[in-house]
A and B are shown apart, each in its own frame.
Chain A
Amino acid sequence: MVELDILTYPDERLKQISEPVERFDDELREFVAALEAKMRAGPGGVGIAAPQVGRFQRIVIVDVSGHRKVRQSHGRLVLINPEITEWEGLEVGREGCMSVPDYTGNVVRAERIALRACDEHGQSHEYRFEGYEARAVQHEIDHLDGLLFLDRLVSRRSDLFRRKVYR
C-alpha cells in the first residue's frame, strides 16, 4: 500500500475545492484503504479527507467508535460525494486537525445532521449523525470545500453558545 503524506497548513492546496468521484473502481478502493491507514496512524485521528493527502476528490473517512466518550456511532464510514441534507441545532466544540499541528480551537457546528453519501462501491446511503460524530463529519466535509477549522474559529473568551453542561 502506498504511504500517503499529510499536507499541512499553510499549504495552498488545502484551499482547493475537490471534485466529485465518478468512477468507483479498484483504484478508488485501494486509495480508500491507504487513506484509512493514514487516519488510523495519526494519534487520536477520527477522520480524514482525501485533499489532506493531496487527492482532490470528494472522499472522507470517519470512525469515532474508538473514542472513549462516544457511546453510539456508525463505526467505520466511507463517505464519497457526501451531501448534508439537514442541519439542526448549534454547538461549540473543540477541534484540531492533522493538517494543523499543535493547535486546537473552538468551532460552532450543527448538533445534528442528515447526510447522503456513497460508499466505496458506489452504493448510496442515508445517515443521521449527532454530537461528536456529526462534528467529525462536518469537519471532514469542510476539507472538500477548501475550508479548515481555522476558518471557523470562535473566540475562547466570548462564549456565544453554551456548551453541554456536565451535571
Chain B
Amino acid sequence: MNEWYMATLVGRDRPGIVAAVTQALYEAGCHLGETSMVRLGGNFTIMLMARCAQGGLLETLEPVADRLGLRLHLDRIEGRLHDHRIPDVRVSVHGADRAGIVAQVTGRLAEAGLDILDLDSDVAGSEAQPIYLMHIEGLATQGIEALEAALADLDAGITVHLSPIETMIG
C-alpha cells in the first residue's frame, strides 16, 4: 500500500470506459486518488493516481485496457493527496487559430512568474476558420501586474483576459 502510481489510458472514445476501468481497480482492491479524464479529439484520456493494497496495477489494468482498445502507461510517482494549492489568477485566451499561441502566451506568463495549476485548451469554430481557446488557473508568484505587463504587447489577434481569483473561505 501507499505507493502511488500514475496510470495513463488513452483510446478511441466510447461509452463505459470510466466505469470499466474504475470497476476493475475497485475489484482488485485499489484506491483512486486525484484524476483527470477528458475527451480530446475523439479520444478518451485518463490520468489517474492509484494505489493497490496488493497485486499489481499492471495486471489489473492490462486486461481492461486491451478489451477497450486503450493504450496503457504506468509510472511510479512521488505523490501525495491533500496537497492542493489555491489559484489566485485566471487567464482566458482566444483568437484565430494558428501555431504558437500557447507557446507565446505561456512563455511570457512563465517569465512573469505564473505557476500553472490547471490548463485546458480547445479548437472551436469551423475547419475553414478555426479559433483557439485556452483557460488557465494558476499562481501569480510575482503578482498579477507582472503578468499584465508581460502580455501588454502581445500579437494582435490574440485576446487575453486576466482576472484575479479571490477565494472566499467561509
* Highest count of chain A CB atoms <10 Å: which of B148, B163, B169: B169
Check B167 for interface membership: any CB of A closer than 8 A: yes
CB < 8 Å neighbour of B144 from A62, A104, A166: A166
CB < 8 Å neighbour of B162 from A42, A95, A166: A166
User: Which residues of A, 80-126, contact B by the 8 Å Cβ criterion?
Assistant: 93-98, 101-104
Hey, which chain B residues are within 8 Å of A164, CB to CB?
163
Sorting the interface of chain B by its residue count into under 10, 10 to 19, 20 to 34 or 35 or more gives 20 to 34
Hey, which chain A residues are within 8 Å of B162, CB to CB?
166-167
Q: How many interface contacts (CB-CB < 8 Å) are there between A and B?
A: 74
- Judge whether B90 and A95 touch: CB under 8 Å: no
Chain B residues with a Cβ under 8 A of chain A: 38, 82, 84, 86-87, 90, 118, 120, 135, 137, 144, 148, 161-170
Chain A residues with a Cβ under 8 A of chain B: 42-49, 62, 67, 69, 93-98, 101-104, 132, 135-136, 139-140, 149, 156-157, 159, 163-167
A–B Cβ pairs within 8 angstroms, 10 of them: A47-B168, A93-B168, A97-B170, A98-B170, A101-B82, A132-B166, A135-B168, A156-B118, A156-B137, A167-B161
